[in-house]
Structure 1
Amino acid sequence: MTQRPELLAPAGSWEAFVAAVQNGADAVYLGGKMFNARHSANNFDNDELVRAVEYAHVRGVKVYVTVNILLANHELEEALRFLHFLHNIGVDAAILQDLGLARLAREVIPELSLHASTQMTLHNQAGVKLMQQAGFDRIVLAREMDLQEIAAIKRETGAELEAFIHGALCVCYSGQCLMSSMIGGRSGNRGKCAQPCRLQYQLVDDRGRSLADPHQVGEYLLSPRDINTSAHIPELIAAGIDSFKIEGRMKRPEYVATVIRTYRNLIDRALSEEPYRVEPEEAGDLAQIFNRDFSPGYFFGNPGKDLMSYKRPNNRGVRLGRVKGFNRQHKTVEILLEEPLRVGDGIEVWVSEGGRSGIEVNSILVNGKQVASAPAGTLVGLAIPGKIKPGDRVFKTHDADLMERARETYTSARETRKIPLHFLVRARVDEPMYMRVADEDGFVADGCSHEVGQEALKRPLTAGFLRDQLDRLGNTPFVLAGLKADIEGQVMFPMREINELRRQVLAQLEEKRLQAARPAGVAQQLMERRLRGALEQIKARPDRTGQQQLLAVNVTDLTSLQAAVSYGADIVYFGGESFRSKGMITERDIKAGAEFCQKNQAALVLSSPRVMHDNELKRFTSLLERTADLPLDGVLVGNLGLLQIIKDYTDKPVVGDFPLNVFNSATILYLQERGLSRVTLSPELTLKQIQEISQTAPVPLEVLVQGSIPLMNTRYCPVGSILGGLATGKKCAGPCSHQRCGLKDRKGLVFPIEVDQNCRMHLFNAKDLCVIEDVYTLLASGISVLRIEARKEDHAYVARAVNHYHKAIVRFQHGFRDEKKDREAREDLAELSAAGITKGHYFRGVV
Structure 2
Amino acid sequence: MAQTQLRREDIELLAPAGNWEAMRAAVANGANAVFFGVEKFNARARANNFLMEELPDIMKFLHLYGVKGFLTFNILVFENELEDAKELVEACIDAGVDAIIVQDLGLVKMVREISPDFPIHGSTQMTITSAEAVEFTKQYGMERVVLGRENNLKQIQKIHEQAQLPLEVFVHGALCVSYSGQCLTSEMWGGRSANRGECAQACRLPYDMMVDGEHKEMGNIAYVLSPKDLAALEIVPELIEAGVTSFKIEGRMKSAEYVANVVSKYRKAIDAYFAGEKYDPSIIDIQELEQSFSRGFTPGFLLGTNNKTLVDGTFPKKRGVLLGTVQKILRDAVLVELNAPLKRGDGIVFDAGDPTQDEEGGRVYDLRVKGNKIEGSVDQGTYEIVMGRNDVDLRRVNVGDKVWRTSDPELERRLRKTYDTEKPYHTFPVDVHVFGSVGQPLVATFKDVRTGHEVTVHSEKPAEAALKRPLDQTVLSEQLGRLGGTVLHLGELTMDLEGDVIVPMSELNKMRREAADRLMDLREQPPQYTKREIDVYEDAHVPEPVDGNDARLIALCRSLEQIEAAGQTDVDYIYADFEFVKDYPKAVETARKHGKKIALATPRILMPGEIGILRQIIKHQPDGVLLRNTGAVQYFVQERPEGIELIGDFSLNLANHKAVNLFLERGLSRVTASYDLNTEQMVDLLSQSDTSNVEVVIHQHMPMFHTEHCVYCTFLSEGTDYTNCGRPCEDQRVSLKDRVGMEHPVRVDTGCRNTVYNAIDQSGAEFLSEFLSYGVQSFRLEFLEEEGGRVQEVIKLYRQALRGEITGTQVWKNLNATNQLGVTRGQLVKK
TM-score by length of 1: 0.89
Is 1:752 the counterpart of 2:752 in the alignment?
no
Output the amino acid matched with 2:281.
V
Q: Give the secondary structure class of the aligned counterpart of 2:215.
A: coil
Alignment partner, residue 837 of structure 1: 823
Q: Give the secondary structure class of the aligned counterpart of 2:361.
A: strand
CA distance in 2, matches of 1:380, 1:503: 61
Alignment partner, residue 654 of structure 1: 646
CA distance in 2, matches of 1:475, 1:547: 76
Alignment partner, residue 578 of structure 2: 578
Alignment partner, residue 778 of structure 1: 771
Checking the alignment, whether the CA contact within 8 Å between 2:446 and 2:454 is kept in structure 1 is yes
Aligned residues: 812
Checking the alignment, whether the CA contact within 8 Å between 1:84 and 1:109 is kept in structure 2 is no
Alignment partner, residue 409 of structure 1: 418
Change (3 A) 1:393 1:143: same
CA distance in 2, matches of 1:420, 1:372: 45
Change (3 A) 1:588 1:138: closer
Change (3 A) 1:691 1:283: closer
Q: What do residues 769-801 of structure 1 show as CA deviations (whole Å, max 9, x unaligned)?
A: 023333333323322122111134332331221
Alignment partner, residue 154 of structure 1: 160
Deviation of the 1:435 alpha carbon = 4.9
Alignment partner, residue 780 of structure 2: 787
Alignment partner, residue 6 of structure 1: 12
Output the amino acid matched with 1:131.
T
Q: Give the secondary structure class of the aligned counterpart of 1:374.
A: coil
Q: What do residues 159-213 of structure 1 show as CA deviations (whole Å, max 9, x unaligned)?
A: 1211111111111111111001111111011111111111111211353x32132
Change (3 A) 1:222 1:451: farther
Alignment partner, residue 596 of structure 1: 593
Deviation of the 1:834 alpha carbon = 4.1
Q: Give the secondary structure class of the aligned counterpart of 2:179.
A: coil
Checking the alignment, whether the CA contact within 8 Å between 1:58 and 1:513 is kept in structure 2 is yes
Deviation of the 1:361 alpha carbon = 3.1
Is 1:513 the counterpart of 2:523 in the alignment?
yes
Output the amino acid matched with 1:333.
V
Q: Which deviates more from structure 2 when the two are superposed, residues 219-228 or residues 374-383?
A: 374-383
Change (3 A) 1:470 1:344: farther
Alignment partner, residue 613 of structure 1: 607
Q: Which deviates more from structure 2 when the two are superposed, residues 302-311 or residues 792-801?
A: 792-801
Of 195, 213, 220, 2:218 maps to 213
Is 1:83 the counterpart of 2:86 in the alignment?
no
Alignment partner, residue 477 of structure 1: 487
Deviation of the 1:824 alpha carbon = 4.9
Q: What do residues 569-610 of structure 1 show as CA deviations (whole Å, max 9, x unaligned)?
A: 221101xx4237xxx752541342232231xxx322222222
CA distance in 2, matches of 1:364, 1:462: 62
Output the amino acid matched with 1:828.
N
CA distance in 1, matches of 2:606, 2:717: 23
Deviation of the 1:548 alpha carbon = 2.4
CA distance in 1, matches of 2:510, 2:345: 44
Deviation of the 1:427 alpha carbon = 9.6
Checking the alignment, whether the CA contact within 8 Å between 1:605 and 1:633 is kept in structure 2 is yes
Checking the alignment, whether the CA contact within 8 Å between 2:471 and 2:501 is kept in structure 1 is yes
Q: Which deviates more from structure 2 when the two are superposed, residues 343-352 or residues 81-90?
A: 343-352
Is 1:183 the counterpart of 2:175 in the alignment?
no
CA distance in 1, matches of 2:335, 2:717: 41
CA distance in 1, matches of 2:583, 2:211: 27
Of 796, 799, 809, 2:789 maps to 796
Change (3 A) 1:758 1:737: same
Give structure 1 stretches of 5+ with no counterpart: none
Deviation of the 1:363 alpha carbon = 4.4
Q: Which deviates more from structure 2 when the two are superposed, residues 224-233 or residues 372-381?
A: 372-381
Alignment partner, residue 357 of structure 1: 360
Q: Give the secondary structure class of the aligned counterpart of 1:536.
A: coil
Alignment partner, residue 96 of structure 1: 102
CA distance in 1, matches of 2:657, 2:242: 38
Is 1:381 the counterpart of 2:385 in the alignment?
yes
Q: Give the secondary structure class of the aligned counterpart of 1:373.
A: coil
Checking the alignment, whether the CA contact within 8 Å between 1:797 and 1:832 is kept in structure 2 is no
Output the amino acid matched with 1:660.
L
Checking the alignment, whether the CA contact within 8 Å between 2:543 and 2:774 is kept in structure 1 is no
Change (3 A) 1:159 1:317: same
Deviation of the 1:56 alpha carbon = 1.3
Change (3 A) 1:314 1:470: farther
Alignment partner, residue 277 of structure 1: 280
Is 1:735 the counterpart of 2:728 in the alignment?
yes
Deviation of the 1:434 alpha carbon = 5.4
Alignment partner, residue 635 of structure 2: 645
CA distance in 2, matches of 1:473, 1:197: 53
Checking the alignment, whether the CA contact within 8 Å between 1:12 and 1:41 is kept in structure 2 is yes
Output the amino acid matched with 2:657.
S
Is 1:548 the counterpart of 2:524 in the alignment?
no
CA distance in 2, matches of 1:276, 1:373: 29
Of 654, 664, 678, 2:670 maps to 678
Deviation of the 1:670 alpha carbon = 0.9
CA distance in 1, matches of 2:289, 2:345: 19
CA distance in 2, matches of 1:692, 1:665: 9
Alignment partner, residue 239 of structure 2: 236
Checking the alignment, whether the CA contact within 8 Å between 2:584 and 2:600 is kept in structure 1 is no
Deviation of the 1:103 alpha carbon = 1.2
Output the amino acid matched with 1:608.
T
Alignment partner, residue 254 of structure 2: 251
Query: Percentage identity across aligned positions?
Result: 34
Change (3 A) 1:372 1:272: same
Alignment partner, residue 447 of structure 1: 457
Checking the alignment, whether the CA contact within 8 Å between 2:713 and 2:720 is kept in structure 1 is no
Alignment partner, residue 566 of structure 1: 568
Change (3 A) 1:827 1:16: same
Q: Give the secondary structure class of the aligned counterpart of 1:70.
A: coil
Q: Which deviates more from structure 2 when the two are superposed, residues 266-275 or residues 721-730?
A: 721-730
Deviation of the 1:358 alpha carbon = 2.1
Alignment partner, residue 537 of structure 1: 539
Output the amino acid matched with 2:590.
G
Q: What do residues 712-745 of structure 1 show as CA deviations (whole Å, max 9, x unaligned)?
A: 1111111211112343798213222122111112
Deviation of the 1:552 alpha carbon = 0.9
CA distance in 2, matches of 1:481, 1:373: 44
Alignment partner, residue 49 of structure 2: 43
Q: Give the secondary structure class of the aligned counterpart of 1:169.
A: coil
Change (3 A) 1:461 1:169: same
Checking the alignment, whether the CA contact within 8 Å between 2:701 and 2:761 is kept in structure 1 is yes
Output the amino acid matched with 2:294.
N
Change (3 A) 1:772 1:391: closer
CA distance in 1, matches of 2:398, 2:667: 67
Of 697, 701, 712, 2:694 maps to 701
Deviation of the 1:418 alpha carbon = 2.5
Alignment partner, residue 294 of structure 2: 291
Deviation of the 1:123 alpha carbon = 1.1
Q: Give the secondary structure class of the aligned counterpart of 1:553.
A: strand
Checking the alignment, whether the CA contact within 8 Å between 1:562 and 1:596 is kept in structure 2 is no
Of 619, 622, 625, 2:616 maps to 622
Of 15, 34, 46, 2:21 maps to 15
CA distance in 2, matches of 1:734, 1:784: 41
Alignment partner, residue 321 of structure 1: 324
Checking the alignment, whether the CA contact within 8 Å between 1:8 and 1:25 is kept in structure 2 is yes
Q: Give the secondary structure class of the aligned counterpart of 1:410.
A: coil
Give structure 2 stretches of 5+ with no counterpart: none
RMSD of aligned alpha carbons: 3.0
CA distance in 1, matches of 2:253, 2:211: 36
CA distance in 1, matches of 2:258, 2:27: 13
Change (3 A) 1:449 1:327: farther
Checking the alignment, whether the CA contact within 8 Å between 1:556 and 1:585 is kept in structure 2 is no
Q: Give the secondary structure class of the aligned counterpart of 1:841.
A: helix
TM-score by length of 2: 0.91
